[in-house]
């Protein structure tokens, strides 16, 4: 699934670690696309100073924030 928002997250996003805690992630433009994907067990989110968008998953998968 691909989602577009107006959130200016400055290449920072968060994914959960085993459904327990959220891990801060940074998109690295020098890495290939597959190098910027991280495991997502149950949720991931991006945010700026005004908005947050959270994605909840029913099954584990992978996630990334490829544009800020």
Helix, strand or coil, per DSSP, at residue 33? helix
Tell me which H or E stretch contains 14: strand 12-17
Q: How many angstroms separate the CA atoms of 30 and 4, rounded?
A: 22
Q: How many angstroms separate the CA atoms of 11 and 68, rounded?
A: 5
Question: Domain range for residue 17?
Answer: 12-63
Q: Is residue 3 part of a domain?
A: no
Q: Is residue 7 part of a domain?
A: no
Q: Is residue 52 part of a domain?
A: yes
Domains of the chain: total: 1
Q: How many angstroms separate the CA atoms of 7 and 16, rounded?
A: 20
Query: Band of the pLDDT at 68, cuts 50, 70, 90?
Result: low
Q: Is residue 31 part of a domain?
A: yes
| Token couple for 60 | 């584990």
For residue range 4-56, list pLDDT tens digits in order.
Answer: 999 999 999 999 988 789 999 999 999 999 999 999 999 999 999 999 999 99
């Amino acid at each position: 699934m691909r989602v577009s928002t107006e959130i200016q997250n400055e290449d920072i996003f968060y994914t959960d670690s085993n459904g327990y805690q959220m891990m801060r992630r940074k998109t690295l433009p020098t890495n290939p696309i597959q190098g910027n994907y991280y495991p997502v067990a149950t949720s991931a989110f991006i945010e700026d100073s005004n908005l947050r968008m959270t994605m909840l998953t029913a099954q584990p998968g992978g996630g990334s924030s490829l544009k800020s």
